[in-house]
Structure 1
Amino acid sequence: MSDGGERAVESLFEDLYEYAPCGHLSTTIDGIIIRVNKTLLKWTGYQHAELVGHAFVSFLRPGSQLMFETRYLSVLHLRGEVKEVAVSFRHANGTALPMMINSTVTTAGNGEPATIRTAVFDASERQMYERELLAAQRKAEASETRIRVLQNASRVLSEATTDSALSNQLTKITREAFAASNVSMYLLNAEGKLDLTAGNPALGLLDLSGDGPAGELARMEGTRILSRADLVAESSGLAEVMRSAQVETLVSVPLSDEASPLGVLISTFTRSRSFEADDIGLYEALARQSAQVLTRIHLHQQLEQLTLIDQLTGLASRRLIHKRLSDAVTLSRLNRRSIALLLIDLDGFKLINDELGHATGDSVLSEIGSRLSSVVRHGDLVGRLGGDEFVVLCEDVKPEEVDRVVQRLHAVLREPLTGRASQKRVTGSIGTILYLGGVPDHIPPDLLLEQADEAMYRSKRAGKNQDTTVIVGDTSPAEGLPIL
């Protein structure tokens, strides 16, 4: 080949080296740069003189320098090459330039290492792709976690039967899901004020119903994320409260049943936190689930209340009478204090019902119920078993007190009726069971009711408007007081 041809080939190879689609550099065995191509200069923004003569490691960012010196060089000298090593190079403008490098050790004629030749690839797009892939993976994992939290919440919350049980479960689930420092649950009471039902008081405050910073928190509508730094800029009173409680971020999520507010869920964090839209969605989904369960609990409680109250008179129903009597008997055996069970059947009521109709009869029953309630002792239970039968339960009572209650009942029953029944009269046949405290053997409440009913019929057979008392547990009864 002629000299001209050789120069042309050399020029071609030089051109391929300088403008290769990847960067090239050569260093001494000690890592001093001795040659770079134009592609690398263009990528890194340096001039030729700024790189050549300087240690390659000095252009790496701190994390890559440590890896380069402790692992890269040792593997290179041991194996003679390294492939696809990721490093972060410092661009001339100071920014980080992700690189992927392949290096090979070349030897001199005597077989000793002479130079290190390195091919450099711009890894910016790869790094961006890996970041997007990692972000997508994290988003998928977060989505899976949210689904798992909601599934667990659906199962656990649906098992709650009281406000307290629901509140405890919701605060626990929320605290674990968001790694919150504290989660508090507040529910509206009958007076329309918020009561703490689970967790520690938010920001150390118990009363969220006032006009101060705590009240400001309770009145917020919709989900709110509050940063103490932002509140300081807004001159909000909550900023100082949060500072005192060492809270940097607060999340407030209302609970409501359609348009009716039920309460508020408050999470606090001791450090600054940011939340994605999906995080807020999880908060609100938990709030919706809880609101649905709360509504069910409240409906159940209302239905339960209806079964405990006689709808006509507003007195205790048969079910509540039975429950209170059972509890009273158990307590009496333990504290050795007597109870009295009075069963009242109205004399003359059937005539009113037959002649004046059921509406008037219902009115009379309601009036009688109010009268009976007005003359018993404070704390005594007045109930309606059904029809024209009423019950009075007196706890912690003495025999002479029972007699006074019976006489007051007779007196109030004999008073003239009002309304359409004003020309009619009713009286009461009363059967009383005096259950003495400390009775050793358990007596079922149903048996006491049966015996009270039997005592009442004795009074009717005696001529109505009478009363009969039976004592349970008396070892030396007075004459005329039968023993069960």
Structure 2
Amino acid sequence: MSPLHSVDALFNAAPCGLLTAGIDDVVVHVNDTFLLWTGYTREDIVGRSFASLVAAGEQTVYATQFQDELWLRKELKEVSLRLVRADGTDLPVLVNAVITADEQGVRLAVFDASNRRDFENEMLAAKRAAEFSESRVRVLQDAAARFLAASSEEELATMLVEIGRSAFGAIDAAVVAYDPEGVKFQVVVGAQHQPMLDAIRASRPAGSKALSPDELFIIRDIEDAYSRSEEVGDLMRAARTSTLTAISIPDGDAILGAFVCLFGTPRDIDQQYMELYRALARHAGLALSRIRLQAELRYAAEYDQLTGLVNRTTIDERAADAFEEAHTTGAPVSLIFLDLDGFKAINDELGHRAGDRVLQDVASRISEVLRREGDTVGRFGGDEFLVVCPGADAAASRAIAERIATAVRAPLDWLPNGFGVTASIGIAVADPGGPTPINAETLTRMADDAMYEAKKSGKDRIAIAA
């Protein structure tokens, strides 16, 4: 047999590591392949136990599952272990082992499993990525469906808080909404976190009311919190919060609010977390923008743009609602109709800007003197206003009208001398139990007629419809 094909040559050049050991696990022979893979010399290996080459974390597995099973079954195949190379790094291997025929030793074949381990890790990472992707899709689908059903900003914020706690395993969450003036409102689950959120907001650079678009603000642990300020660190520790994340809720380049999640133990904020966090914030931004637009449209449909009072359509509806309630309760309902005296001269001689300002001031004054809950004032048209007073009889409605007349009559300091306004007021009272039932439309016309009687009588007067 040629030296190339001698037994020793085949043993040393085998494409796997080969070892023999005694029944005491001490290595007797080792081939060159094993030495090449591990970086040891033959003197390093021969005379030491194979167990001493096994990584510390797998010593128990080797001593129990490997050795016990081997002597019980006489042969094992593809046992996954980690060995320690001479430089201290791990070598993942698969080991085949067989007890010798005379049962005086063990023959071991060791296969380098680095590529297999890398492949398995890649497969595991791919599986986890797929699972996360599926989970992310479910979270976003659920969020989109729930956000679509939200009819108010507060309802949407509460939904986002609930989703944050569920999707990320946060111990708590919060939503802070902004408007052009700053913080509009805040939804916090867990009142103990309110001071902490205030302190964190205060710790941001002066003048920064909100996060930048897509900015992710992270406090990774208590040490990070104390590096920002002692107050933030103390509050996070008191609230037993280790990690905090916050992200802007965007609408294009505008910032509508911030979404905050809090964790009781330090949380690794990885790329997957950030992707889902940003996606939820963007979904919330779209929903919040929709809700605000719908609110603006409702406001435009229900309110007078100049005075901020409800408009004619809405005040008519309030009057109809008051009548419906009156028929249920049997209580009276009053309507107070007023027209401004002297307004035409201001509008004609000082201009529409002055006229508009008078209407705004008068609207504010009337609103301020309506002390009863449920009373509503609306701009009926031009310089006419209608006040709906549920449950008010003739005496109560007259007292309200007198307060209105006094408030309107007070001088407007910014008007030039010789200009001013007063109110001619008509009152109509309906008694649902009376002999002649009437409706809101009829009562409004009666109050309007009474107002004209007051104006004919000299203006700045109050008349009650008979």
Which residue of the partner structure matches residue 47 of structure 1?
Answer: 41
Which residue of the partner structure matches residue 224 of structure 1?
Answer: 217
Alignment of 1:161-240 (within 5 A): 161-188=151-178, 191-193=181-183, 195-200=185-190, 203-205=193-195, 208=198, 212-213=202-203, 219-221=210-212, 222-227=215-220, 228-233=222-227, 238-240=232-234
In 2, Cα distance between equivalents of 1:368 and 1:54: 100
**C-alpha RMSD over aligned residues:** 4.5
Among 104, 107, 110, the residue aligned to 2:98: 104
What secondary structure is seen at the aligned counterpart in 2 of 1:104?
Answer: strand
Deviation at 1:170, TM superposition (A): 1.1
The residue type equivalent to 1:433 in the other structure is V
In 2, Cα distance between equivalents of 1:43 and 1:401: 101
Which residue of the partner structure matches residue 389 of structure 2?
Answer: 394
Deviation at 1:84, TM superposition (A): 1.0
Query: Contact 1:60–1:90 (CA<8 Å) still a contact in 2?
Result: yes
Residues 407/234 of structure 1: CA separation in 2 closer, same or farther (3 Å cut): closer
Alignment of 1:169-318 (within 5 A): 169-188=159-178, 191-193=181-183, 195-200=185-190, 203-205=193-195, 208=198, 212-213=202-203, 219-221=210-212, 222-227=215-220, 228-233=222-227, 238-311=232-305, 314-318=308-312
Which residue of the partner structure matches residue 439 of structure 2?
Answer: 447
Q: Does 1:118 align with 2:108?
A: yes
Residues 149/454 of structure 1: CA separation in 2 closer, same or farther (3 Å cut): same
In 2, Cα distance between equivalents of 1:386 and 1:219: 41
Which residue of the partner structure matches residue 433 of structure 1?
Answer: 429
Query: Contact 1:255–1:265 (CA<8 Å) still a contact in 2?
Result: yes
Deviation at 1:375, TM superposition (A): 6.2
What secondary structure is seen at the aligned counterpart in 1 of 2:182?
Answer: coil
Query: Contact 2:428–2:446 (CA<8 Å) still a contact in 1?
Result: no
Query: Contact 1:185–1:266 (CA<8 Å) still a contact in 2?
Result: yes
The residue type equivalent to 2:310 in the other structure is A
TM-score normalised to the size of structure 2? Answer: 0.76
Query: Contact 1:164–1:198 (CA<8 Å) still a contact in 2?
Result: no
| CA offsets 1:79-102 (integer angstroms, 9 cap, x no match) | 432211111123233332211111
Query: Contact 1:103–1:116 (CA<8 Å) still a contact in 2?
Result: yes
Q: Does 1:144 align with 2:134?
A: yes
Q: Does 1:20 align with 2:21?
A: no
Among 367, 370, 383, the residue aligned to 1:378: 370
Structure 1: unaligned runs, 5 residues or longer: 470-480
Query: Contact 1:202–1:268 (CA<8 Å) still a contact in 2?
Result: no
In 1, Cα distance between equivalents of 2:454 and 2:170: 73
Deviation at 1:61, TM superposition (A): 2.6
Structure 2: unaligned runs, 5 residues or longer: none
Query: Contact 1:193–1:209 (CA<8 Å) still a contact in 2?
Result: no
In 2, Cα distance between equivalents of 1:241 and 1:188: 24
Residues 230/451 of structure 1: CA separation in 2 closer, same or farther (3 Å cut): closer
The residue type equivalent to 1:90 in the other structure is V
Query: Contact 1:208–1:214 (CA<8 Å) still a contact in 2?
Result: no
The residue type equivalent to 1:448 in the other structure is A
Q: Identify which range, 47-56 or 214-223, moves more after superposition.
A: 214-223
Query: Contact 1:340–1:394 (CA<8 Å) still a contact in 2?
Result: yes
Query: Contact 1:321–1:383 (CA<8 Å) still a contact in 2?
Result: yes
The residue type equivalent to 1:261 in the other structure is I
Report which of the two structures shows the higher radius of gyration computed on alpha carbons. Answer: 1
Q: Identify which range, 121-130 or 364-373, moves more after superposition.
A: 364-373
What secondary structure is seen at the aligned counterpart in 1 of 2:100?
Answer: strand
Query: Contact 2:366–2:377 (CA<8 Å) still a contact in 1?
Result: no
Residues 336/53 of structure 1: CA separation in 2 closer, same or farther (3 Å cut): farther
Residues 213/337 of structure 1: CA separation in 2 closer, same or farther (3 Å cut): farther
In 2, Cα distance between equivalents of 1:366 and 1:204: 41
The residue type equivalent to 1:391 in the other structure is L
Among 398, 404, 423, the residue aligned to 1:403: 398
How many pairs are equivalent?
A: 445
Deviation at 1:218, TM superposition (A): 5.5
Deviation at 1:294, TM superposition (A): 1.4
Query: Contact 1:255–1:288 (CA<8 Å) still a contact in 2?
Result: yes
The residue type equivalent to 1:225 in the other structure is I
Q: Identify which range, 331-340 or 252-261, moves more after superposition.
A: 331-340
The residue type equivalent to 1:430 in the other structure is G
In 2, Cα distance between equivalents of 1:239 and 1:278: 27
What secondary structure is seen at the aligned counterpart in 1 of 2:131?
Answer: helix
Residues 181/218 of structure 1: CA separation in 2 closer, same or farther (3 Å cut): farther
Deviation at 1:219, TM superposition (A): 4.9
Q: Does 1:57 align with 2:47?
A: no
| CA offsets 1:382-405 (integer angstroms, 9 cap, x no match) | 224457864222356453232355
